[in-house]
Amino acid sequence: MSVTAVPTRAVEIDAVAVRFRSKKQDVTAIGEVSLGIAPGEFVSLVGPSGCGKSTLLKLVSGLLTPSAGAVRLLGQPVRGPRHDIGFVFQRAALLDWRSVRRNILLQAEMRGMEPALARERADELIAMTGLTGFEEALPHELSGGMQQRVALCRALLHRPRVLLMDEPFGALDALTREQMNVELHRIWRETGTTVLLVTHSIAEAVYLANRVVVLSARPSTVAEEIAVRLPKIRNYSATMADPAFAAATTRVRELLGAGRDL
């Protein structure tokens, strides 16, 4: 009987450094960062602008090779672009001329998924993200939050075991963002996907995660990892009032030097 080994880490970033060299500049973006993410875990990554958060996501997705150290995804070394991940960016990046459903199905076309199965999964995700009734709408007929929901559906279509998100809700108003946080948390619980989320919102980082990783300024290192001791099912208002939420956000804020009284 063959036994498929289950990796103990979905993502393993091992003593990674990144230097960008050009004729004009030599920038060490990441000094040395190590980080392990267990399967099914939700990790938020925060840090000052320019400390290498997006760079770190690019390393995990194989779009970039580290100058030193190694990255493993689901137990295998990352040696080029990986297709078993999902990626959501700050801007939804939808094709203007394609409907909601056809934007989501783009993922299936790129991966050669079986059309009937892909359509079934797309409709499941459309229902899960509250887009039912908008399947045939074009992107310009949607609000910003709805466009990000479409981007999320597209990223989840092939059931990626790892979802990378780079400030996915940065362009949304505060209320829509809260709503998206609640939805993302539910979707994460339902799909069991491992998530690595980059965000500048401390509340978002803590509300969503099992663990918040705080990076220092460039050249970045891990300043601290903060375990979030909140229940798995999180009511938004109750979470905001929870002492564990206050403890974690206060610590992240201290580390980032945010909100200092002058």
Ligand X SMILES: Nc1ncnc2c1ncn2[C@@H]1O[C@H](COP(=O)(O)OP(=O)(O)OP(=O)(O)O)[C@@H](O)[C@H]1O
Which residue from 8, 50, 159, 173 is in contact with ligand X, where contact means CB under 6 A?
50
Min. distance of Cβ 48 from Mg ion in angstroms?
11
13 binds ligand X (CB under 6 A): no
Min. distance of Cβ 108 from Mg ion in angstroms?
28
Which span (46-54, 72-80, 88-96, 252-260) binds Mg ion, by CB under 5 A?
46-54
**Amino acid at residue number 124:** E
29 binds, among ligand X, Mg ion, none (CB under 5 to 8 A by kind): ligand X
d(CA 157, CA 241): 35
First to last CA, the chain: 66
Based on CB atoms, which residue is closest to ligand X, 46 or 118?
A: 46
201 binds Mg ion (CB under 5 A): no
27 binds, among ligand X, Mg ion, none (CB under 5 to 8 A by kind): ligand X
Based on CB atoms, which residue is closest to ligand X, 27 or 117?
A: 27
Based on CB atoms, which residue is closest to Mg ion, 46 or 187?
A: 46
Min. distance of Cβ 29 from ligand X in angstroms?
3
55 binds, among ligand X, Mg ion, none (CB under 5 to 8 A by kind): ligand X
Query: Minimal CA–CA distance to 81: which of 52, 67, 60?
Result: 60
CA dihedral 193, 197, 202, 203 (to 10 degrees): -30
Query: Minimal CA–CA distance to 100: which of 55, 135, 56?
Result: 135
Tell me the residue nearest to Mg ion as measured from the CB: 54
- Helix pair angle (144-156, 100-111), 10° resolution: 30
Residues 186-225 that bind ligand X (CB under 6 A): 218
| Sequence-distant contacts of 246-249: CB under 8 A, at least 24 apart | 248/206, 248/212, 249/202, 249/203, 249/206
Q: Tokens 């299936």 appear where? A: 108
Which residue from 20, 106, 138, 222 is in contact with ligand X, where contact means CB under 6 A?
20
11 binds, among Mg ion, ligand X, none (CB under 5 to 8 A by kind): none
DSSP result, 57-87: HHHHHTSS--SEEEEEETTEE--S--SSEEE
55 binds Mg ion (CB under 5 A): no
Distances 94 to 86, 107, 150, 211, 261 between C-alpha atoms, Å: 15, 12, 8, 31, 41
249 binds Mg ion (CB under 5 A): no
Which span (8-16, 45-53, 120-128, 203-211) binds ligand X, by CB under 6 A?
45-53
54 binds Mg ion (CB under 5 A): yes
Tell me phi and psi for residue 250, to 5 degrees.
Answer: -60, -45
220 binds Mg ion (CB under 5 A): no
Q: Which parts of this chain interact with Mg ion (CB under 5 A)?
A: 54
Q: Which parts of this chain interact with ligand X (CB under 6 A)?
A: 20, 27, 29, 47, 49-55, 218
